[in-house]
Each structure stands twice: as C-alpha cells, then as structure tokens.
Structure 1
Amino acid sequence: MHSRLLALPLVAGAAALALTGCATSSASSDASDDGTVRVVASTNVYGSIVESIGGDHVQVTSILNDPSQDPHSFESSAKTQLAVSKADLLIENGGGYDDFMTTLAKSSNTTADTINVVELSGLDSGGSAEFNEHVFYSYPTMVKLVADVAKRLGELDSADEATFTENADALTTKLQDLESQTAAVEKTVDGEKVAYTEPVPGYLFDAMGLDNVTPPDFSEAIEEGDDVPPAALNDTIKLFSGGEAKLLAYNEQTSSPETEQVEKAAKDADVPVVGVTETLPKGEDYVSWQQANIDAVQAALTK
C-alpha cells in the first residue's frame, strides 16, 4: 500500500545544473570538514532518531518537518537538493512512501549510503496482501534502525563511535519500554475492534492486539487520494453507528469530505477519535511522540 508522498518536481534549469555540479565534489563517505556527519532524512521522524544518537556530532536535515503539512504532497527546492548532494548518509522510509528521496539522490549524483527502513524492517514479505509502509509505528523496526544508524555514524566518524553506541543503547532502552507498554495494553484490550482513516497506526494497533475492522476499500482510497466507493463509505460509517468500532484513529495531516463524514459519525456515536500523524508534532522527539500515541489509544479504549 503506497502513500502518495510525493510528487517531486525536479529542480530545473541552471539551478539544477549547478547543484549537480557541486554534488560530485561535495558528496563523501567521510564526515564533513568541521567534523560533523551530514544526514538527510525524508521526514523528521527519522531525523529525530539520528539526532538522539548523533547529538552535536551530526547535522540533520529533515525534508518533511512541518506538522501542518500533508506529507502526501511534496515539492522539492534547490535547498533540499543541495542538502542531499552534500550528505554523508541518507535515510528513506521506502516501500513507495517517499520515492522523492530516490529522485533527489539520482539528480544530485550523491555517493552517500542510503538506509531504506522498509527493507531494514523485514516486514514486507512480498505477498499478495497490501503492505503497510508506515513502519515508523513499528518499535521493533525502530530498534533495528537505531542499531544501523549508530553503526554507520561510527564508520563515518570513528572518533565519536563510543558516543554513538552509548546514545543508541539509551534510545533502544526507551524503545523497548514502549514495546513493553503495548504488550501490557494487549493483555487488557486484546481483540478490541478499531478503525482508522488510513493505516498510519497499523503496527501500533497490531502490537496492542487490536482488531482493525476498517473496510480496505475505504482506507486504501483515502491513502491513494482516490474517490471512496459509496458502499465502502457507508460500511465505514456503520462501524460507529452500529457500535462495532470502539475507536477511530484519524490522520490529522490528510483530510477529505469522506474522512470528515467518518469522523462525524464516530463523534455522533460517542466513539473516541484519536488523532495520529506521519511526522513529529512541534517540540516532540520520537519517543515522546509515540508515548503520546500509546497513552491516547489506551485512554480512548478505557473510556
């Protein structure tokens, strides 16, 4: 299942040529001249993780970092492409979520390594079922990412390798605590029926043992930006009017008349609506963001 993140108009004309020209000389497999490792992440979710590990020894550019921005529409700029051309390490979600990263990397001729988080996760089995690419809600995947980032930062800046390892260990402990919390929730609400406008929190729901009953034709149409089949819309609304779903997770960064109708149906039926996002809210890091998500879901289910 592919989020539409992202039409990427290429930087045109002289600006593109200038950026391409500088990319060859500036891209490097080593840390920059000032000693910091330059990392470009597709979203601030991954940027936050790198910052937690690298601290002052990394310079992180997160391409999508505005919580009010619909992450499914993105336009590149000369500044963005320049950052990619100078990067020592790139981090992309993968799975069709942020294909603009591939486009940027190719157009800048960077030699930087890329971490593809979907590939790292091992969650995409390549089966016939639609794959949920929102792997940043999978805590085991984030544990894998932390280890990989620490390893690569250590290779790029061997002088600070011990710091990266120490910070990665501390972050891993926090992520494992999030896993423990979801396991505890599963023991109390296992099998509870829930719904979402898009499968953004799907891995969190799975970890909590929740049963997603959203009609696939509804969530897939919303995710792809397509028209929702009337029958799918009606079936989704009935989840709340009929009392089947006990919670609605609503993607706050993507809305449409259909999602607003579903949200209204949930509220009219006194079903809790929990807002979820695909990028970090202002002032949050990855752990605090996910802690808030766990707390919100748990509170809604025990309402």
Structure 2
Amino acid sequence: MRRTPARLAGTVLAAAALVLTGCSGGGGDASGGSGDGGTVNVVASTDVYGSILSSVGGDKVEVTALIDRPSQDPHSYEATARDRLAVSKADLVVLNGGGYDSFMEKLAADEGVPEDDILNAVEISGLEGSEADHSEEEGHSEEDHAEEDHADAGHSHEGHSHGSFNEHVWYSPEAMGLLAEAAAERLAELDPDAAETFRSNAADFNAGIEDINAALAAMRPVADGRDVALTEPVPDYLVEEAGLHNATPSDFTEAVEEGADVPPQVLKEMQDLVTGGSIVFLGYNEQTSTPQTEAVREAALAEGVPVLDFSETLPEGQDYLQWMAANTGAIEGVLQ
C-alpha cells in the first residue's frame, strides 16, 4: 500500500510522549483477532514494527513482535511453531521486506496470508531502489533466490542478495511515517469504527517524525558531507539525512553483509580510514559484531574517534520515536 505522506504543521508530539502499548514478544498470546474482544490482531516481524503499529493502533490492536531481543538476528532467525501459529491467527502482518526478514515472508506465504493483509515496509518506503527490489523479488521462490547467482548484484545476508538497495528502511524516519499512514488506512478497513482513532494516532506519530526530521535538517550545514564509517550500513539512511557521508569501503560492507571474513587488506583499509583523522564517528552494530568489526571498534577508540552504537531492535523501555530521537541526538552530540 503506497500512501502520500501527510505534511504536518502546527503542534508536534515529542518522541517521549508515545509509549509502546499492547506489544508482546514472540510466542505471546496471538489468539485475539478483530472478532475476539474487538481488537485487531497484528503480528510484526520485529519489535521496531510492533512499536509503530502499537503507536497507530493504540488499545484497538493486539501486537505480537516475533523478534524482540537483541540476541535475535532477523537475517538468520528460524521461525518457531508459536510464530507460525501467531501468523496464522493474524488480521494484519507487518514485515520489513527486501530479504531482511525472509522468515516472515515465508511464514505469511505458507499460512496463505492475503497480500492486502501484509504491510511491507520496503514497498511502502518510497526509497530509491525499493520498487526495483520488489519487482526483482516477485515471481521467485525462496529456493530460487538461494540458487541464483547474484555475484554482480551487491551484498547479501546469509546468502540472500538484496542487490544495491539498503533494506534497513526503519532508519529512514520519512519511510516510517509512510508506514504509519499505510497502517492507519489498513486498520481502518479492518475496524471502521476506530478509523478516526487510527488516523489521528498516525498523525501524532508523524508529528514526532517531523521533529526528528527537523533535527536532522538542522545538522546538515554543520555536517557538510563529512565522512563517517559504519561497521554495517544499518543506520545509513539516518546518517545521510543528517548530511553525512558513509565512506566505508564497499568491500568491507559486502563481506560483513555476507557474513564472510573481511579480507586482510580490506580490514586494513577500514582501520586506516577509522584512524586517519577524516571521519566524524564510527557507527557500530553490536548485535552482529564479529572479531573483525570489534577490531575496527577498538582501533577507533584507541585513536579517540567517537563510536556510536546503532541496533536493529528497540532498546528496552523505548518506542520507535524515542529510539530514533535518541539516535539523532547522539549524532548531533558528536557534530557539536
């Protein structure tokens, strides 16, 4: 579902005001549906999307996030029988797409979830390359993708190529605003009596997104295209919106994304970049750390280069807006 982003003016909602409600972890009770207790049963691949749907749905939805702990890696996650049961009972399924959470795409396909009952964040994002990525995915099974040779198509996770498109779309606040609006419209179809509530909640969420976007825009004159290095391209959209440039060697990124060892000469190139005095900070993904990314982190710390941690799931006790505002604030703090 593609929606036109609402341009919100006037009063904006502080990120701290939205609280994650009704979002249970993987294996939670997914028995409630639109016909049971008057709530819409939503199953999300990760707690990031669970948080956004909880913000939009409020107490009119029951949200189950299959991945809700930092120790769980969506790229290699293996769905459980409880996950399958949750998806089978879902009124609405929310996933990242783009090959990031392929386990969820497979669950939805296996359980026969109608396309209209799936919100795919990559497809909704409107980000450059997302439509091409989607069209490449269509008409191919998981087995087909595993067998295809994508040697020239860019990086992959666990053997699943994503081409040149960065699938970590939840680090684009604008894209998540679009997702919130799409969620409001689909929830309104599932529960028409609460339609205005959903749309109002989505507007409040987008007010928080506008706050974050305003903070990012204010950084750009200071950032002025300066370089950063990232052990993984997870926060790349946020970095770009702040006016910074990801200077990480492409061969380093590709090796990490493929789960392969970084060649020694490429590791040295990355370490030289980090210690050469040209980068503003090193962005580090501690959830998928390896001895080589840890070595890069240690090199940065030894040189006095700021290291910012960026995760793939929500920190405990924070919702999406609070988390992304904190990430934005961390970048701002380094630039100052």
**TM-score bucket (shorter structure):** 0.7 to 0.9
Residue 138 (structure 2) pairs with residue 122 (structure 1):
no
Question: Residue 280 of structure 2: SS of its match in structure 1?
Answer: coil
Shift of 1:190: 1.6
| Matching residue of 1:149 | 183
Letter aligned with residue 74 of structure 1:
Y
| Matching residue of 2:285 | 251
Letter aligned with residue 118 of structure 1:
V
Query: What is the aligned-residue identity percentage?
Result: 50
Structure 2 spans left out of the alignment, 5+ residues: 1-30, 134-152, 154-162
| Matching residue of 1:74 | 77
| Matching residue of 2:4 | none
| Matching residue of 1:297 | 331
Shift of 1:244: 1.8
Write the distance in 2 (CA, Å) between the matches of 1:268 and 1:71: 31
Correspondent of 1:180 among 207, 214, 232 = 214
Matched-pair contact (CA < 8 Å) for 2:274–2:305: yes
4+ residue segments displaced more than 3 Å: 126-129
| Matching residue of 1:35 | 38
Matched-pair contact (CA < 8 Å) for 2:229–2:274: no
Letter aligned with residue 53 of structure 1:
V
The TM-score, its normalising length taken from structure 2, stands at: 0.78
The count of residues paired between Structure 1 and Structure 2 equals 275
Matches of residues 124-143 of structure 1 in structure 2 within 5 Å?
124-125=128-129, 126=132, 130-143=164-177
| Matching residue of 1:56 | 59
Matched-pair contact (CA < 8 Å) for 1:250–1:275: yes
Deviations 1:210-255 (A, max 9, x none): 0111001111211221111212111000012211222000002111
Matches of residues 1-303 of structure 1 in structure 2 within 5 Å?
31-111=34-114, 113-125=117-129, 126=132, 130-302=164-336
Matched-pair contact (CA < 8 Å) for 2:171–2:237: yes
Structure 1 spans left out of the alignment, 5+ residues: 1-25
Matched-pair contact (CA < 8 Å) for 2:282–2:307: yes
Matched-pair contact (CA < 8 Å) for 2:231–2:283: yes
Matched-pair contact (CA < 8 Å) for 1:41–1:61: yes
Letter aligned with residue 189 of structure 2:
E
Deviates more, 1:89-98 or 1:109-118: 109-118
Shift of 1:301: 2.7
Matched-pair contact (CA < 8 Å) for 2:275–2:305: no
Shift of 1:124: 4.2
